[in-house]
Amino acid sequence: YLFFDKPPPAELLPWPSTSPPFRISDDTSKLERESKHEAPIMVRMVHSILETVREEEGGGGGGRFCVDEFGVPLTVEKGIHQIDLHGDISGFLSAHPQSLLLSLHHFDFVNPIFPSMDRFQSTTHLMKAANADQSRLLQQTICYQNQRNWSISVSWGYSVHIYDRIYPRSMLKRPLETFMPWMEMKDPKQPAFMFNTRWPCETPTVFFFESVPKVSSADNLIVTTYSRSQPPSYPNCPWKGNHSADHISRVQVFSTATKRKDVERSECCDIEHLDGTNTAGVKLRACKDDEIIA
């Protein structure tokens, strides 16, 4: 069973039959019995953990306290996201750490991750890309079109950002601060986040995942399409480039149907754009041994 402190909100009901059944329990002694720990020391530890978690206000503090109580070191997995944020997290998801995506939490506290969709529709839409290639989901690939001074950042299965200036990879790998902190910061000198961010005035031309057709085994290719969206409502930077991407309404990303076994190194990509068309093409590929990504 899934044990909740309070009933699920109306937006999660009716409870899906594919999910484990849940129970509402404020009686910790009952939970101790149901945990089936016969050793008295285990019962005491479970009780201690429950009491500690009950008093912990932070979203992810409960899990950390549970681990601490058992004296087990905590292993940080970059693909597990507590999402202790509020508002628009598109900037965060568009610069995902270089690690397989494993889970996203607290979706009920953030805006829907796709425009014109609610939270449930957004999650279902993201799973369409995951079903095509989970190994690349949200993996960031950065490449450049030097003739137009474009920097392109692909968050596979979620978004494409086109900047009309050449920006270093170290900068583009930092999330745009489109979101707000989980808790109000009482001390303005205290960092709001546990990772570096970018000022959102560096607004790119934004494209969100639209569709992915069935994988063609003959071509061994997956083609994901991203349609243009309104940029975040932040001020534009005064140092805009001379080759705007405003005429681009759609981006197609071509990737091999072969799943990635190692995500420790980013892929490289090539940019194709035919003059007179409103579609840009990006081909993902393995980086060459002597390739300088710039």
Distance CA 263, CA 267 (A): 8
> What gap in Å lies between CA 146 and CA 273, rounded to an integer?
12
**Dihedrals phi, psi of 236, to nearest 5 degrees:** -75, 150
Left if phi > 0, otherwise alpha if psi is -120 to 50, otherwise beta: which for 68?
A: alpha
pLDDT at 290: 74
Q: Give the model's pLDDT for residue 155.
A: 95
pLDDT score of 212: 93
Helix (H) or strand (E) holding 90: helix 90-93
Identify the pLDDT of residue 181. Answer: 77
- pLDDT of 39 reads 58
Q: What is the mean pLDDT of each run of 10 residues along the chain (294 residues)?
A: 79 84 69 56 60 53 61 65 78 85 79 90 93 91 89 94 89 86 68 74 86 76 91 58 79 89 80 78 86 62
Q: What is the pLDDT of residues 50-85, one digit of tens each?
A: 565 555 544 555 556 666 666 666 666 666 666 778
Q: How far apart are CA 237 and CA 231, in angstroms?
A: 13
Per-residue pLDDT at 73: 65
Contact between 249 and 226 (Cβ < 8 Å) = no
Give tens-digit pLDDT for 96-128.
887 788 777 777 888 999 988 998 899 999 999
User: Cα separation of 59 and 81, whole Å?
Assistant: 11
Note the pLDDT of residue 267: 87
Report pLDDT for 108.
80
The helix (H) or strand (E) run that includes residue 281 is strand 279-285
Q: Pseudo-torsion of CA 140, 151, 278, 273, nearest 10°?
A: -100
Q: Judge contact between 255 and 221, C-beta under 8 A.
A: yes
Question: Residue 71's pLDDT is what?
Answer: 67
Distance separating alpha carbons of residues 54 and 70, to the nearest angstrom? 17
**What is the reported pLDDT for 189?**
66
Task: Give the pLDDT confidence score for residue 107 in this predicted structure.
Answer: 78
